[in-house]
Structure 1
């Protein structure tokens, strides 16, 4: 059974001094539990699209796998909300770097850099990519225009894996981490090199989001929202360029600004 991305529900809306009944489109919230080698590993709450990418991206970000070939078998039962993963090698899921935990769709502390595993799997960027200021703005505008689910529901995060000039793939999810995991899973499944790529993101750049970008391996993160102080500290340490508040024709660069070129600089080069 394929789950719907959204559902139409009757609501009562207040507008212009009046209450009136109408239909509204509500985004679907879907739990999926991952079992690895017969043992429960984690439950995520997500938007039920691109579930294979989500599972693979999540396992890669947790350091369980490095490549698609590490998986002997992957079966997803959408009707029951389970993903069954068989790895080619045995792992001890009760090791210190793993912790079985419920991962919600909200913006709480569901995944943090404080886990030993996050320190182990985060990568220092070695990218040589430089992006023009107007390309930052164009990528953000394009990603936002592409998200029909956000336009219809207002209840999801958007993320895109990009070159400076265009979007390679974009994904949507109620969970900001999930949207990034889907990008990671897509790049693993399609063997897309990510070192020179850019992530464009609709939400706040928290330490968890910055860590997720570091695990994926990109060196530039663009957002329409703000970063946190810890995210900026991590970005400085991991050599990642962070750009926030991309709105209209302006934005702020918070770390490693050498990868952002202005229109004047581009014309001089």
Structure 2
């Protein structure tokens, strides 16, 4: 069963705007309507003084914040967030919704005073805080992985309509789809999926994170911080992600398409 943490505010579905455009087709112009994905701003204040601005899809904001904090290694449990305040602002000139969130953590974290994280990349700061490598055990078979794309087809309607969204899917040890993250940024989508499972109390130690975007070093680091042993993509894995996966025994799979995939690291996670 999908985990949908009961939190409301902002847009319920993926925010789309219908606009007039002109399309070149069959040698001439035609006027038509098109659906485009909306960008929003999340301004996250982490007391006592850090400010991070994300360009993101304005939905599942609380889940994204908690997923980000877990996946960056700032917290290990939801109750380490001692205060959470969220305020939506529709009066700002940005062409989309703006939400301001303030959190106070049990332990202070030291971040740059101001940082902006755009939708395409979640920043370059990577600090894996005192983490030990995974101890691999055979959890999944190759056939299990090949079945994953058939389980997500009903959850990518926003991409089919606009071509604008990335998705992240979390599967449990029984290959049940337990959380979906949808965003214009692949890192944000991963944070949302992780945050939904985290807030619902779903164990991540025997889970699979399946992303539609390429696997960057930072997404691999998010999986390690969150305790997710297997990271899978339909696209490529970048070299930094491979190095990090091999250092921490993270299972890393790319180009999961049809009846094949590439395994960059983590053969011990697979049943023979």
TM-score normalised by the chain length of structure 1: 0.85
Q: For 1:140-155, list aligned pairs within 5 A.
A: 140-155=149-164
Unaligned runs of 5+ in 2: 1-8, 90-97
Establish whether residue 83 from structure 1 lines up as the match of residue 101 from structure 2.
yes
Deviates more, 1:33-42 or 1:74-83: 33-42
- 1:157 offset after TM fit, Å? 0.8
Task: For 1:233 and 1:180, locate their aligned partners in 2 and report how far apart those are by CA, in whole Å.
Answer: 20
* Among 103, 109, 125, the residue aligned to 2:134: 125
Give the Cα–Cα distance (whole angstroms) in 2 for the partners of residues 64 and 8 of structure 1.
Answer: 39
Deviation of the 1:2 alpha carbon: 2.5
Q: Is 1:200 aligned with 2:200?
A: no
Conserved? CA contact 2:21–2:33, under 8 Å: yes
Corresponding position of 1:12: 22
Quote the residue 1:106 is aligned against.
Answer: 120
C-alpha deviation, 1:144, in angstroms: 4.1
Cα separation, partners in 2 of 1:71 and 1:200, compared to 1, 3 Å: same
Q: 1:241 to 1:248 in 2, by over 3 A?
A: same
Count of aligned residue pairs for this structure pair: 252
Contact 2:73 2:128 (8 Å CA) reproduced: no
Q: What does the per-residue CA deviation read over 1:105-139, in whole Å, with 9 as the maximum and x for residues that have no partner?
A: 014x72343xxxx2216552235352222321221
More helix by share: 1
Tell me which of 21, 25, 31 is aligned to 1:21: 31
Q: Do the aligned partners of residues 216 and 22 (structure 1) sit closer, same or farther apart at CA in structure 2, a change above 3 Å counting?
A: same
The runs of 5 or more residues in structure 1 that have no matched partner are none
* Structure 1 pair 20–71 and aligned structure 2 pair: CA distance change class (3 A): same
Q: Give the counterpart of 2:247 among 225, 232, 237.
A: 237
| CA deviation vs aligned residue, 1:74-130 (integer Å, no higher than 9, x gap) | 12112242012233x362x5x3xx2231101014x72343xxxx2216552235352
Q: Summarize deviations over 1:126-173 as a string: whole Å, max 9, x none.
A: 353522223212212322441111111111111011025221111111
Name the CA shift for 1:66/1:23 in 2 (closer, same or farther; >3 Å): same
Q: In structure 1, the residue corresponding to 2:133 is in which secondary structure?
A: coil
CA distance in 2, matches of 1:119, 1:193: 20
User: What is the distance in 1 between the residues matched to 2:236 and 2:267?
Assistant: 16
1:46 equivalenced with 2:60 (yes/no): no
Q: Distance in 1 between matches of 2:263 and 2:169?
A: 19
